[in-house]
Every structure is written in C-alpha cells, then in structure tokens.
Structure 1
Amino acid sequence: MDVGDSPLLKFAADLRSLRDKAGGYSYRQLGARAHYSATTLSDAAGGRKLPSLAVTLAYVRACEGDEAEWEDRWHQVAAEVLPTPPSAEEGHPPYAGLAPYGTEDAEWFFGRDRVLEDLEKRIIGRRFVAVFGASGAGKSSLLRAGLVPRLPGPTVLTTPGELDVRPEKLDLGQDLIVVDQFEEVFTLCPDAEQRAAFVDALLTARCRVVLGVRADFYGHCAQYPELIEALTDSQLLLGPMGPEELRQVIMQPAVKASCTVETALVSRLIADATGQAGVLPLMSHALLETWRRRRGTTLTLAGYEAAGGIQHAIAQTAERTFTSLEKQQRALARQVFLRLTALGDGTEDTKRRLPRAELDTDVDIDVVLDRLAHARLLTLDRDTVEIAHEALIRSWPRLRNWLAGDRDGLRTMRQLTEAAATWDSLGRDPDALYRGSRLDTAVEWTRRDGVRTSVMERDFLADSLAARDRERRLAHRHTRRLRQLVALLLVLLVLAGGAVVLASRAQQQAAWERNLSVARYVANEAENRRDDNPNLAHQMLIAAYRLSGTDDLRDRVLSAHAATSLDMVSRSVLTGQALSPDGTQVPIARVPDIADDRINKRLGGYLVPRNTVTSFVVTRTERAYATTAETDPRIWDVTDVRNPVVAHTFTGPLTLVAFAPVTGRVLVTVDGTSEATVWDTSNPREPVALAVLENHPRWIADIEFSLDGKVLATIDNQSTVRLWSLEDPREPRQIGELSDGEDVSTLALHPDGRTIAVAGKSGSIRLWDLTNAWAPTKIATLEGHSDTVLSLGFRRDGTALASAGKDDTVRLWDLADPHHPAQRARISGRTAGIYGIGFGDAPDWVVTSNSDGTTRSWQFDVDVAIATLCETVYDPISEDEWRRNFSGIDYQPPCS
C-alpha cells in the first residue's frame, strides 16, 4: 500500500508503525490491552475506512502513544474524508448554535414545557416576575422563543440597550413588557440616576413586566428596595436541563427538519451535557455543526466527533473570543482563567469556583468577564465565577500551555490567594501574615512578567513586608536595650557588693533574653538567605539553635536538614512493608550508587503509570515488589531497580492494594472501591484469588496490615474501622470494629496488636485500646496537624508514633506513656503523594514512601542533622558576617 495515496491510508500506515514501535504486539495481544476485538483493531489499521475516535484512542493507548496528538490527527483526517457540510440551500438548520433562539425560532424550541407552564402561572397571578439563571442556562431562548409566542395580546420584547430608559417611554399601553438581559442596566448605563429612573419606570408601568436577569447580578438588583419588594415570591430560578429535557432538545428539532439522530449520538450528548451549567449553547453549537455534517438525513456520532463535539466547540469559541480582546484585556483574561483552574496533583486539572471578590473591581475586568460569559466560556452566578465546562481546560491549547508553563508559580499564586483570604477573614490578624521563605517566594513571583495580583493580595504582601521590617528593627532595639541593662547591672554590682547574687541572676536572665531575641532574628535571616547561600544559611540556623536551645529553632534545623536530604534510603523502611529479612538493604527510591536525577532517574521514573505506587515489599527470598493502582493495576518486580519489569497486570481498575509485611505472600486489593479480595502471590506473575471480605459496606476508603500480617484493618466511607483476621487467608473473618464519630482516613496498628491510631481531615490523632476489639476505649488524643493526616506509623518498640500531614509537616510523637503522649518534634517539608510512613533502623529516623516510587528520610535527631549539614560546609562563617548577625556574641563558627 502506498502511504501517500490518501490521508486515510497515511493515517492507517502510521497506526501500524506505532504498533511496531510498541513491540510488535499481535492483534490478539493488542485487543487484550485495548479492550476491543482483534478484528476491530485490525480494521482500524487497514485503511479501508476511518475508525471511530474511541477505537483510535484505544489503539493508541494500548501502544503507549500520545493520545492528544492522535486525537488531533483524527480530527484532521476526519475533516478530509468524512462528508463535507452541505450548502446553505438545504433548508433551515434545526439548531441555533451559540446564539439564543428568537421569537422567529419558536417552532424549533423544545425542552422547557414544564418551566413555561410555571412561568405563565406566575405572570397570570403577579404583575412583576423575574427569571434568574446562570449564563448559558437558556434564559433568552426561554423568553423569546418560549414565552412570547405563547402569550395572547400585545407584547413588547426588548433589552435595556435597545430601549430609551426615560419613564414616559415605558408607558406603552401594552399587555406585557419582556425585558431580556436586564443586567445591561448595570453594565451599559454609567449614570446611577438614569438607572434608578429606568427601574422606577418598570415598577410603575401600567402593564405586566417580565425580566430576564443573569444570576450574578442578583446583588445589583438588591440595591433597589422597591425592586426587591416587587420580586418577593415572583422569582423563577432557571437551572440545568434534565436528561429527558435534553433528549427533547436533541430529537424534536431533528424530527421537525425530517432528520433522524443516531441513538449512540443521543446517548453521548446527554452524557456530555447532563448537570452542566451553561452548556446549552455549547451543545446547540455542536449539534448545528453535526447537522452540517449529516449523512443523508441522519445526524451521526461520527459527524459529531468530526465537528469536535462540545469540547472542540468550546476551544474554537475560546480562541476566537480571546483574540478579539484588547492587549491589556487579554492579560486580564489569562489571569482569570488561571485563577479559575485548580491544579491536579497526579490527576487532571479541574475547574475552580471563584468568589467574585477575589477579582478586583475594575472596568476592564468587568468587560473581560462579560465578554467571556457572553461567549459561554464562563458561568457568572450571584457571587461566583467559574469555567462553563471543564472540557475547556482539556481542549483549549492556549489554556493548556498557560497551565503547563509555570505550575510552581500557579501554586504560589493559589497559596497566596488562600493566605490573603484567611488573613482578611481573621480581621487582618498580623499573626496570619507571611514570613521567611514563603514571603520571599511570593514577592519574587509577583515580579515576574504577566503576573497580576488582586488588591487584597497586594495589601497582604505589603503588610507582610512591613511586619518583617518591624521585627528586624525590634530585634536590634531589644539587643541595644539589653546591652544597656547589662551595663547598668555591672555598675550596680560595683556600687553594691551585697547585690552580687541578684545582679548575677539578672545578668543571666538578660543574657538569655538577648540570646533568644538574637537567635530568632538570625533564624529569620537564615530563611531569607537559604536560596542564594544555603552554606551560610545553615550555619546561621545551627548557631541560632545552639544559642537559644528552643524547640521551634530545633524544628527549623530539622526542617533544613530534611530539605537538603535526597529522596533515597538504603536501609529499613516502613512498618515491615519494605524490609528485607535482615532489615537492611532495600533496592528502592533510586539506584543506590548514583543519587543524581541528571544522571539516573528515580525508580518512579521507570514505573508506568507514574505517581501510582501504593505499596512496596521485599520477600524473604530477597525479591522486591511494588504495586500500582490505576486503570491497569500492576505488580512490578523491582529487584533490579535499573530495569523493573511487570510481574502481573490485573484486569479492571483497582483503587487500593496492600501487601502483607515480611513475607509478601498475601495481597489485598480493592476493586472499584467496592470489593476487597485476598490473593496468594507466592508466584507474583500468577496471583491466585483466595477469598473476598464478606459483608463489608460498599465503599472502602483505606486498608492496612498489622506488623505480623495476620490482621487487616479496613476503613469504610463512613469512617468505621473494621479488623479482620487473615491467619487463614482463605477464610477471613471480622474480629473487631471501631467508630469514634470523627473522620477517619488513615490508621496504624501498634506492634503489640492491642492499640490502634486513627486520624483524618481534622488533623487530630486518636489512640484506642483494642483489648476488647468490639468495644475499644479511647486512650488519648494528639493535637498538632492543621490539616488532613495522610499516614501514620508506629516505631517497632511501640514507644513512638510518626505522622505525615497535608499541612506539609511530619511529626514525631513520644508514646512512652500512651495516656500522656507528647510531640517530640516537627519537620516542615513537602508531603504531597505520601502513602506510607514508618521508622528506619535508628530510633529517631522516620521514613516516608511516595506514590512516585521514591522514599524520603526525615531525621529527628538534631545532633545527627547538624552533623550532616556541617559535612557540606567548606567555608565557615566569617567574623564579619558573624558580627553583622550575632552582635555582642563571641565568634563561634558552628561547623568549625
């Protein structure tokens, strides 16, 4: 076959080439990976006809190709080989596209019969009625094509932009005035008196009045008490259409145009549009383009996909609207879209509902929002703004490029926005301001090209900078006063020999206070210098800690050590889940002899799919296995970390997996969050299902093994913990239950099996006595984390507990007296992706495992941390630098 004969033949040849590059799978093997028959996949690469988009993407996914690239290829080929749009002479289009239906389109308007009946009853019973709805909900079509043609008698249909707002012009002697897009009163009329006169004219007109108002302008209406009074019990809120209403919108215009709609297309459109606010014009546009690509008189799924569907309709509209804005407005539009997108962490980016108050009150901002809402790209509600459809994030290339360009900067923006909002909600409390490295990072981000902050964010940063300057001045002033105090005490010592003891004590207290003040000032300075001179910053921080010895400075030293440590350990990790039989070498995280990402990838870089590792185990036979849970859950043999291989692939998605510790023979999986299955993985390449946990609720939120692997704990979606005996894996049985009335999303079992620690969203950790496993008793509550606790792990001797939280801290708790636990220390550092935590082979060495296949150590022994930091110091702090920071303190280089 000559691949140059046609675009279709070239497309088919490239599919076959992709299969060859993936390893030359047979079509039977490819069918098992793609979940399509071998015949279907063979036909897709045969070149006789264009395969459907779904089959094409399944083929590419099975060959590990770039789905986005191939989807674009498919659309290009489809535009050339599928039937071209018919000419305009072929009759009235049955769909209106992005434009609203007008009175002349009444015969083509369907799906709102129930709402129209309700509206007619309201108009009969009341003189003044308003229809509120989000942008794109179909208000204009409802009023113009639905309401007006159904009403008898003279009716005026207008908008504020078309109507003279003088009161006498509204006294038209009509039965009914319908004012669509009433929000134009506020957007097009800058004169407050003229707006008030127009509203008053409507309220006093000698006829019935119906308003169509965008929901986000409800607050503007509240500025006029008489209008609010008139609207009491006279408001109709227009929401999204249900599946049956959508079916009428799709089917009835086609029937009227003597066309038919494929059943598959109807199902696809209903699935794409149900529950989506503001989707009606987008769906109408996609239907119009599909009608233009109909096959005879039939609207087909292939034509819908060739037109781009709802997603590509949004992308085309977005690009056209964006490029029509002025240069300054385009910059504002970019900031709006970035703020409206929530970045995914191992998941796809999603839309974010934004409070209107987060955007400045600015004419250009109002214009941008209005233009984007008019194009149906944004949905403006009463007090919020959001992207009309998440398909925009996935399908608009420009927005994808924005999001990919500087994700760290976007996270900095999101954190700044949340911090400023919290500060404002607390009455602008100074304790909520940024300090240290977080302040420096935020300020540096605001200085980049194209960055625009809100008034609240600028106020927040300005107050943070001012507070830092005040703290520095206060520290210097305090030091000076302390020096004066010491001098005074020395004079008094000479004059009054009898006050020697008192003066000595006062001097010690003054010195301690001076040292504490200097230490905290230096610690803050060290945070500011960490990025440009870590060598000096670490020495300053160590010296500050030795000068004061306070817990907060100890935690800062530990956090600095954690920030410099590599994501690699080569000894015992986690509560039995990644230990070799002798508790030593573990081939995980990175290849042990090279610890540099520029030379050698992390283990997670070799696993596919990435960021999905959920457990790790080393068996007694010295073999290491990792598991991943995704659409294609796998067991990986990672004994050779340079070349991990798939040992087994499960069918269907798994949400949770857990290996029994030590032996690694028993594996428990949760299928689709609904069913827990026990497997024998003596041969990991051919695991054997042994049993299913009976009588377990539908949703399973987490699972955890005991240290000896004989007990399994499960958490359901109601935060109930159940204990199961797996001494005989073929016959699991429930042996206990715990429900403490709070959220539970993670747990850890004490090595002695008589204590359990549970935690969740609140950040508190609860200890329970399991002596009576069916009626546990609470021992203590550990408070410290300010956000969700991600993972818990006991030390092997049971005298300590480690916890990792979503608040980016890892904490060590002393349980020598479990009834009176105490926090030993806290280390700050990134905790995203952590799924497991435990102890190494040193009492104060905590280790966490991350879903990207890496393992990270957290050293809680401050002396070890200091020694490790000092190993990297080649230039001791100079005397000049010491005097600048430790004024009045003898020169003592901390790493000499």
Structure 2
Amino acid sequence: MDVGDSPLLKFAADLRSLRDKAGGYSYRQLGARAHYSATTLSDAAGGRKLPSLAVTLAYVRACDGDVGEWEDRWHQVAAEVLPPPAPNPAEGHPPYAGLAPYGTEDAEWFFGRDRILEDLEARIADRRFVAVFGASGAGKSSLLRAGLVPRLPGPTVLTTPGELDVLPDKLDLGQDLIIVDQFEEVFTLCPDPDRRAEFVDALLTARCRVVLGVRADFYGHCAQYPKLVDALTDGQLLLGPMGPEELRQVIMQPAVKASCTVETALVSRLIADATGQAGVLPLMSHALLETWRRRRGTTLTLAGYEAAGGIQHAIAQTAERTFTSLEKHQRALARQVFLRLTALGDGTEDTKRRLPRAELDADVDVDVVLDRLAHARLLTLDRDTVEIAHEALIRSWPRLRNWLATDRDGLRTMRQLAEAATTWDSLGRDPDTLYRGTRLDTAVEWTQRDCVSPSAMEREFLADSLAARDRERRLAHRHTRRLRQLVALLMVLLILAVGAVVLAIGAQKQAAWERNLSAARYAVNEAENVRDDNPNLANQMLIAAYRLSGADDLRDRVLSAHAATSLDMVSLSVLPSGPALSPDGTQLPIGRVRDIADDRVNKRLGGILTPRNTVTSFVVTPSERAYATTAESPDARIWDVTNVRKPVVAHTFTGPVTRVAFAPNGGRLLVTVEGASELKLWDTTNPYEPVLLGVLTGHPRWIADIAFSPDGKVLATIDNQSTVRLWSLENPAKPRYTGELDDGEDVSTVALHSDGRTIAVAGAKGSIRLWDLSDRKAPVRLATVEGHSDKVRALGFSADGKALASAGMDDTVRMWDLADQRRPVQRARISGPTDGVYGIGFGDQRNLVTSNSDGTTRSWEFDVETAIASMCKHVDEPMSRDEWRRNFEGIDYRPPCG
C-alpha cells in the first residue's frame, strides 16, 4: 500500500511495521496476546478507518511497543481525521463552560467550592484587604465571578487591570467591594513601574474592601511592595487542587441540572485523572464539554471522553482540528493572532493578553479566523477586544508552545513594534515617534522572516520610518559634503600660511621626543637588570627615565618602585575613611614589620599581629584608646590595644559573627552580622560592655559584606546575589531601609560618597561602576571604569569626593580622578602586593593606605615628586657621568638625585 500523505494511512503502516519488528506475529497469535479478535486487529492496521484508542493500545502492548508514545500519536491523528461533533441548535445551555471561566451569569452551574467560599467570606468580613492566590487553571476567576459575587449583598465592582489599562483613576472605589481579578496583569501589561506603584497604592488606600485574584507564580512580584505585603498579612487564601468529592460535584451536578447522567466509569476516570493536579480545572471543563457534545442520548460516556482526547489531549485536539480546518493562508493569520494574544513571561509562565481589535487588520480572512476560533471556544471576542479563552491552551497545545519557543526574541520585537505603531497612530502619526537606528533595523529584519505577517498599521509605521531615515541620510550627506568643502578650503589656506613653520618645529620636537622616549625605555629595561645588585642605581635610572620622557607608564613604574620599599605597618587604627589615622586626621604611632610571618616579630610586638583573614575592622576612639575587632573562629572579639605590645580582649561575642564594622564617626557604633543575615548595632563607648542598640532582621539573603558612609549615618549591605541595600542609621535603635541597587553584575565591595548620592561598586570581573542614587527607585549608572584585570578587593572615596581609590587582586592599587563623575580618569597605578586587603582610604589627597586582614597597613604614595624625594633620601652616591653615558648616550648629564 502506498502510504502517501494521509495521516491515517501512515498510522496504519506504522502499526504493521511495529508487528514486523516484534517478530512477525500472525493476527491469530496477536489476538491471543491482545485479547481482541484477529479481524479487529487486522482492521486496525488496514488504514480504512481510525481504530479506537483501546484497540490501538492493545495492539501496541501485544507488540511490546511504547504505549505512551502511541497514545499521543493516536490523539494527533484523531485531531486530523475524526470529524468534530455536529452542533445541535436545540441542545440548550451546555452544562460545562469549557476553557472560559464561569461568569456571574453562570452561578447556577458553578459547584464544588462551598468550603472555600465560606472561608473567603469570613476573611472578607474580618479584613479590608484579601488576596486569592492560585496556579493558572486553579479556578480563581470562576470562584470570584460565579462563586463570590452572587453571595455578596452590597454593590460590587468586578474588573481586571487590563480593562482599566492599569490606570488608578479608572478604579470605581465608591462601592462596598471591588474585586480585581487577574491582578498579575499589573506586571505583564504595564512596563512603567511608577504607574504600577500608583495602581497598587490606590487599592491600598481605598476605603472600600478589596479582593484580588492573583496567579501564584506572581507572588514574588507582589512582595516588591512593602505596604502590599503588610496588607496581605493573614489576608491570603491559597486556592489548591480540588479533592475527590469536590471534583465529583463539578462533574455530576451540572449534568444533573441539564437532565443528563454520567457513567460511573467516566466519573471514576475523571477523578483519577484530575485528583492532585494543579491547574487542571479548565482542562477538565473543556474535556467534559467535548464529552457532552459526544454524549449518547442524555448520557455522558467514557467512550465519548476518550474520543474527545481526555483531560490531557482534549484542548490540543480541539485546537489542532480547528487550526488544520483553516485554509493555508488563514493558518498563517491564526498563528499571528495566537502569538499576539500571548504575553511572554520573564521568570514566570507565558500568559494571555487582551488584544485591541484595532491591532489586527480589518480583513475578511481575519474575521473568518476569529469566528472559527471563537466558535471552538479557543478565543473570547468582545466588542473591541480579543483574548485567549484560558491560559491552559498555552500550556496544552503543542503547536502553540512550539511557536512560542522557536523565536522569543522575534516575539518581543513584534510586541514592541505593535506598541510603537499604536503610539505613533494615537499621536497623529508624529514623525518624532518613528523608529530609528538599531530598533528600525531589527524590526525590518523580523518582518522579512518566514511566517511573519505584520499588521497594516505596522507596515505603514515601518514604511514611514524607512522613508524618514532616507530623508535624514540625504540631508546629512548634503550637509557633510558642504562642510567638507569648507574645511578643505580652510585647510588649504592654513597649510599655505604656516605649513613650513609647523613642519619644521614639529619635526624637531617629534625627533627629540622620540629620542628621549627611546632612551628612557632602554634605561628602564637596564634598571631592572641591575636592581638586584644595585637597587639605588636602578631607582635613579627609573627617575631619570620618567623625567626625560614624562610618560604615564614610566611615572607608574617610579611609584611602584617607591611602594616596593615601603614596609608593612602595625597600626592602632584602620578607618574606612582613612586607615591608620586618628579622628583628627593625624598619623598614629606605628610599629614597622619586615616579615609579618616571622614568629619573632609577633612575639616582639606582644601578639598584636593576628593570623591572615581574621582582622575585619580597626578604629580609634576620641580618647585615642584603640580597639580592633576580629572574626576569628569560633568567636569575634573586641581588643583593647591601648598598649600595643599587650593587647587585651575587652569583649567576646557569643553568636556566629561573620562580618563586623565600626562606624567612622568616632568609633562608638559597631555593626555585627550574625547568622548570615541578621545585623546588630552596638554602642561600644565602654568596649568591655557593649550595649545592643538595635537589630535588623528579615534581610532577604545572606549578607556578604557591609560598609559605612563617611559620616556613619548610612550603612550599605551586599548580599550573596550582589544586591546592595542601604539603611539609615540616624537612629541606630531603629535602622530604616531606604533603597537598594541591583547593579546587574557581581558586587563584592562598595564605597559611599560623602555627598550621600554617589555609590561605587565592584566585583569579580575588575570593573568599577559609579551610580547616582538621588532617586532610589530609579538609580542611574554614571560610568563604568575599566582597569583592573582581576577582582576588586576594596574601594574608597577621598574626603572631598574628587578621587576614588581601588585595590585589586591583580596586585595593583589605583587612583581615579572624579572631577567628571561620568568620565573618570586614572591618575596613576601602583603595582604591589594586595593579598588580604579589605579596606582602603586616603591619608591626604595624594596618599593612600590599605588595611590588611593580618592586622597590618601599607602606605601608597601617588605624588610622584614626593616619591622621588623619598627615594633620593636613601641614595648615598648620585649616578656618575659614566653610568649616565652608558644608559642615556647623547643626552646632557642630569643626575636625578644630584
């Protein structure tokens, strides 16, 4: 038999192939295994008609085939070859709603939710604000519309955010009760966060009672509004799957009301298929509606249920049969309609959206497609809008799921184009709203793909955009051509007037500069070769090379050489705003350490040096009595280091402290992080008996790091998801959350500017980002600073806020000029050891101090003349003329430390 293109013939041929692969049983042998007659099995593989599902599965089991695969295959073929049930004009009101939710007019057909409704009524009586959460398909809309509204005595308004366009002024708050169904449309249909917040606030401040219906996967979105969270405390009702008895009422009661009966076997099968299934109600309602249409007399049968495809396949079977019945060009239109009716989820499931009828072309074929889909109960048509009957269709129809998964970026382009075209048309086709640049290129490229059909208004919008771009290009080309002609004329005149002089002077200067730079770089290489034997000579050669060329990289080499001679220091103070400084800005007494790993040094200094990765904060009180906190396992401690050689433990914390920090405003306020996400604020005026001022709990994630503002009145926390949160410490007993920054990249360190608006963050990739937090709800990124090649360990602003310091794991310390915060410029870079650095601050405008987790500090001098003077102090013998001639041949002798 020639299989051809018929799905039925292909199905039969594959059944015969399955029998051959199983060993070529005769139909008599196959009948004994399948418990069906040989004739029945032979007809099943004959290709003249589609066998029943039961016969097909028995045939497959007898041949040891994949039952699940063949069941799906049967439903696909059935959707294409089985005719839909003929409508009966006299059949009356269907007892089941199908995909559509039960409305207020369907209250008499709504059963199974009496217990939940009583609970909901009690909550509404006790509270002004109640929300019903449930999965898509759990029956929220039906519960509110057909269940709750008929039970309420007073005036009630039932609406959705989409019907109001998420505009608070459209809310009718003058009734006793307002029900806002499909509340998740606030997030899916409105991209403006301010408008969303105004809509939520209007509901929260309304004097009437409010009931929300919210999809459960948008629970986290609701948590973005603290006042909404407070309002919903003890006011939430979670709508779960129906139990067996509730399902029995949903199945039986509407049929009884319609004078129908339901086979016991069908009831048992439906309860077995639906029990414990979230979101199954629209699937079951649609399967029951299709079974009712296939009823035998007044009896709903199991055979009719299986022919309809059951809970798992009924919607897909109806949708596929309706779609394939359309003409080829109508199928393309239907595809575009379904894609426009679906809102893509961002971290949530895809949802339906209400589509204005004006977004679709006024075309006969479009009207036919909409009519066919609405007749099959797949779409709901209103006077001016179109929408999918239920989101269960999005989940259950494989063809639609495949469309949505194939090109999600293209679908977003389509949605943006539709919104832009609508805006353009509503503003009288204002040319300023047309697409330009990359957006125009992306949209045009999308319209050229297969199976893409933009609407007439979208095509006109793109045509006008392309025409406007062509006009702008012609004008720009004309302007550029004239400008070039003018510039060319001026250049000719300028060249004729001063050309000879400029060439002569320029050539002379260029030659001298190139000679000096070449000599300088040669000397730098030679300096590294002699450094081990004669470091003083090497430093003089570096200094001379820098003064000869003035090159920035040679300046950095001089600063790095000076930093290499610096010793680690044990200090009584390391402040975030100025490590190793007392409160009045003076340098504190220090002990110099050449080898911090040397046990003899530790012993000589009385034990102040601690193991690496233990010191997290130092501070000095106004009385110059110094304290240091450490995060040693298992305890964190406050040390009294009044006598640096004999430190004393002043206080030991008993909790699991992971982070500590002293406020830089005198050292009285201490913050500890306990249990990963709990902050405690302490008054350490008496370090031996710190007083607990306040506790900050409920931090949503683990705290990875903390930092203070220069005045100590603002605390920043970084969680393990790189979100920075800000807390006001005006009253330490009542810390107050003031906003957050989601930088979008890894954040492991943060610094706060003295102006209270600017914040710097950095992390693992080495980039530093500056943000303006003037509007805490809408932070603005000022600049991204690239330089470090590895993780940034610490950041710090200068006191006047005109400079930023950074230390990275790439063993560099850098200073950045912030005269223009949108265009930071690197002043200098010093190479040196940064392992264990946890803090950085300014000693003065050109000097930095880093704090290390082993209890030491290191000074970094960024003023090159100061560094040169310091290096020259240690030079006993200036560079001789012979040494100069060997390294700077042909250049006048100028000893750098003469």
Instruction: Report the TM-score range of the alignment, normalised by the length of the smaller protein.
Output: 0.3 to 0.5
TM-score by length of 2: 0.42
**Larger radius of gyration between Structure 1 and Structure 2:** 2
TM-score by length of 1: 0.42
